[in-house]
Amino acid sequence: MPLQLKLSVPTNQVADMTVEYVQLPSEEGSMGVLQNHAPLRAALQPGVMTARDLEHKNHYFFVSSGLAMIKDNVITVLADSAERAEDIDEARAQKAGERARERIQSPEPHTDIARAEIALAKAIARINAKHKLGALH
């Protein structure tokens, strides 16, 4: 049975594709999934998800926090936000990263540092996803 990847965010489905391999950014580190993987649930952290299709072409996605579930050759990824690398606005991610860095470096009394650290991790992961795509061309 082929391996299917279904990536969704709360508002829509970002990808539904047949794959031979997926690499996920789980909280425990990078996780590779091939056909006939044992059932598993894993928490995601912001990072780059790589999906290799049946023609051995890599597709790159940004995924934020969320959950990945593997069962019966279906990988279901439910992320708070996710984009195909093609759809990432790098300048916007750079700006978000700069804002987060500023908040971390010069916090004000009300600054939520943990939130700024997550925003920075997301910005870095978006830029990384975009750069992986760029490296292909």
Angle at 59 between CA 125 and CA 53, to 5 degrees: 145
Q: Does 76 bind ligand ATP (CB under 6 A)?
A: no
Stretch 28-67 residues interacting with ligand ATP (CB under 6 A): 64
Candidates 50, 59, 65, 61; CA nearest to 83 is 61
Least Å from the CB of residue 104 to ligand ATP: 15
What is the pairing mode between strands 58-63 and 47-53? antiparallel
Least Å from the CB of residue 81 to ligand ATP: 3
| Choices 18-26, 33-41, 47-55, 87-95; region in contact with ligand ATP by CB under 6 A | 87-95
Angle at 51 between CA 83 and CA 135, to 5 degrees: 75
Q: Does 79 bind ligand ATP (CB under 6 A)?
A: no
Angle at 58 between CA 53 and CA 63, to 5 degrees: 100
Q: Does 83 bind ligand ATP (CB under 6 A)?
A: yes
* Selected binder of ligand ATP within 16, 27, 86, 87 (CB under 6 A): 87
Q: Which residues bind ligand ATP (CB under 6 A)?
A: 64, 81, 83, 87-89, 92-93, 96, 119, 122, 126
